[in-house]
Structure 1
Amino acid sequence: MSRPKFLSFTQKNRKGYGLLTEEGVVDLSARYGARWPTLREVIEEGSLFRLAAESASLSSDFPAEDIRFEIPIPSPEKIICVGVNFPDRNEEYKDGQAAPANPSLFIRFPRSFTGHNEPLIRPPESAQLDYEGEIVIVIGKGGRRIAEADALGHIAALSLCNEGTIRDWVRHAKFNVTQGKNFDRTGSIGPWLVPYTDEAQLADINLETRVNGEVRQRDRTSRMIFSFRKIINYISTFTTLVPGDVIVTGTPTGAGARFDPPTWLKPGDIVEVEADGIGILRNTIADEVSA
């Protein structure tokens, strides 16, 4: 069964949100924008499924080719990323250590991401732009100290992320990776949001990353070191999760940094992140153009 695909877009210099159909884009923001200015407010009210049902009979307003995809949740309060969340990824570090008891986390800023079909930008400071395909969960019901047993009930939707990284800049300091993870438009989120229904929807997702058609990463969410339940429980212990928060849940082995020699993304490359039941997030690579 096809699941609703909610997207945020720019069309003729106007930002909006809508529903992607086989015919094109149903402009929901034109109809419901006074009540819900963005998808974040739709999620906060728990109305994704209601909106999908009400929109099912609507005709598209313009073809998908007429829009620029934006990240689905504009200006989320938090984008929290999980590092080292697959067994083979942990082994890549060759430090002899077992998987840690708790997830490694870091923060990314919204400006460090772009949308589907937009280029990831390689900055002039480094040629070491790398890819990381990941599953995204979007929080629908906020909370603090959320029990693992209740955690999945706090998910509103799923999406995809290419958590692009400037590798040498994650080693500029002793204890953090913030710099290498936050260059403008080095990552992407999208193409859309798929509403979350039940645990079976994400229990064993096949996640794959391709560069120019070559499979570089492939694994399944059933093998994650830290489950979606654990991630939500752990994060909500120290911070209050709110509707629209974005959690990027970790990448499999196979990033370019682990090749010998390392293989970095270059202008003209096409990177695709694909996952069962969600879709394909596609981006090209381009060099930053001086203002």
Structure 2
Amino acid sequence: MRLVRFGAPGEEKPGLIDDEHVLRDLSHEIDDIAGSVLSRDGLAHLASLDPKSLPKADPSHRLGPPVGRIGHFLGIGRNYAEHAKETGAETPTQPLLFSKAPSAIGGPHDDIIMPKDATKLDYEAEIAIVIGEEALYVSEAEAMDHVAGFCLCNDVTERTFQKDRGGQFIKGKSSPGFGPLGPWLVTKDRIEDPQAFDIWLNVNGEPRQKGTSADMIFSFATLVSHISHFMKLMPGDVITTGTPAGVGAGMNPPRFLQVGDIVTLGASGLGEQRLVVVERKS
């Protein structure tokens, strides 16, 4: 299934995209794509529905993030071999885990807001894992049993905040608009091989990133298992899992985003995003 949330920010309704690419309204079946709806039983119920029996929704609606009530919004640093090389840093021996503020989350076509005092705004096309079942001390072999599905993410980052302002990466990862998700959540059963996603990102039509999740240092299963040994993962938690080479900070000279830039990105089977960098209004 391709699950979506549509409507104004904070007022999104649950829906799905059927096989004919029609937006269907799920709000008479569930209150949101969140919590227990993402469990095996919850997704099985949605899969049992005849999409054509669901009301059509106006396709002009804004698409919001495809998951609601997200608790943990986690990221993994330097998890693609080629990206690790371009940073000039050592290849990690364990996943580099950081947090992004849930308030950074937005929809796939929402604006990227230039933060106050930002000078090095960067992009990172990524695949995000959405947790469906509680996970604590799970093995790699059972890790994917706890995953509801996958969605596209742009792990927007302000590099000065991330690296030069002290503390942890969260400072450079959490401004409003720094976590666009979607357009849809694709349930795990629709993904034949999660380690074979093709990923790309363009800035103003210029190709910047092109890679595959086969280049990941730590697999999706490894990440879920590893993180579950430090915290209990809950349904609706999102883990964005690293980016291919080609980020602005890795170019020579570096090329960072400016107000007015248009960032487009996508991944095979997970749809596309189109994001415009805008000035902060206040």
Corresponding residue for residue 267 of structure 1? 259
Moved more, 128-137 or 193-202: 193-202
Match of 1:15 among 5, 12, 15: 12
Greater alpha carbon shift after TM alignment, 165-174 vs 37-46: 37-46
Q: Which residue of 1 aligns with 2:24?
A: 26
Residues 84, 90 of structure 1: 8 Å contact kept: yes
- For 1:77-111, what per-residue CA distance to the aligned partner results, in whole angstroms no more than 9, with x for missing partners? 1111001001111112324x3x2220101001121
Asked if 1 retains the 8 angstrom alpha-carbon contact of 2:5 and 2:63, the reply is yes
Query: C-alpha displacement at 1:285, in angstroms?
Result: 1.4
194-203 vs 239-248, which moves further: 194-203
Please report how far the alpha carbon of residue 174 of structure 1 lies from its aligned counterpart in structure 2 after TM superposition. 4.3
The Cα of 1:194 is off from its aligned counterpart by 0.5
Distance 1:8 1:80 in 2: 21
Shift of 1:170: 0.8
CA pair 199-161 structure 1, distance change in 2 beyond 3 A:
closer
> How far apart are the structure 2 equivalents of 1:245 and 1:8?
16
The 5-angstrom pairing of residues 125-274 of structure 1 reads 125-197=117-189, 200-274=192-266
Cα distance in 2 for residues equivalent to 1:270 and 1:55:
37
| Contact 2:99/2:170, CA 8 A, preserved across alignment | yes
Supply the distance in 2 between the matched residues of 1:121 and 1:12 (Cα, whole angstroms): 15
Distance in 2 between residues matched to 1:116 and 1:201, nearest whole Å: 23
Distance 2:147 2:82 in 1: 27
The secondary structure found in structure 1 opposite 2:52 is: coil
* Corresponding position of 1:84: 78
Number of positions where the alignment pairs a residue of Structure 1 with one of Structure 2: 281
Instruction: Tell me the distance in 1 between the aligned counterparts of 2:188 and 2:206.
Output: 30
**TM-score normalised by length of structure 1:** 0.89
Counterpart amino acid of 1:74? G
Q: What does the per-residue CA deviation read over 1:11-47, in whole Å, with 9 as the maximum and x for residues that have no partner?
A: 5984311112446421111x123xx444333113632
SS where residue 26 of structure 1 aligns?
strand
Corresponding residue number in structure 2 for 1:47: 42
CA contact (8 A) 2:34 2:235 kept: no
CA RMSD of aligned residues (A): 2.1
Shift of 1:62: 2.6
Preserved CA contact (<8 Å) 1:24 1:63: no
Quick check: 2:36–2:132 contact (8 Å CA) kept in 1?
no
Q: Aligned residue for 1:111?
A: 103
**TM-score normalized by the length of structure 2:** 0.92
Contact 1:39–1:72 under 8 Å retained in 2: no
Structure-2 separation of matches of 1:194 and 1:177: 28
Taking a change above 3 Å as real, the CA distance of residues 44 and 152 of structure 1, as seen in their structure-2 partners, is closer
Q: Counterpart of 2:109 in structure 1: which amino acid?
A: N
Task: Report the secondary structure of 2:41's partner residue.
Answer: coil
2:53 counterpart of 1:58: yes
Contact 2:70–2:236 (8 Å) recurs in 1: yes
Residue identity opposite 1:115 in structure 2: G
CA contact (8 A) 2:71 2:102 kept: no
Residue segments in structure 1 that go unaligned for 5+ positions in a row:
none
SS in 2 for 1:46: helix
TM-fit CA distance, 1:242: 1.2
Per the alignment, do residues 11 and 100 of structure 1 end up closer, same or farther by CA in structure 2, a change over 3 Å counting? closer
Q: 2:65 aligns with which of 67, 71, 79?
A: 71
- Summarize deviations over 1:159-203 as a string: whole Å, max 9, x none: 010000111111234452111111111231111101102773312
CA shift at 1:139, angstroms?
A: 0.8
State the 1:120 CA deviation.
0.8
Mapped contact 1:20–1:64 kept (Cα < 8 A)? no
Identify which range, 48-57 or 229-238, moves more after superposition: 48-57
**Number of the residue aligned with 1:94:** 88
Q: Secondary structure at the match of 2:7?
A: strand
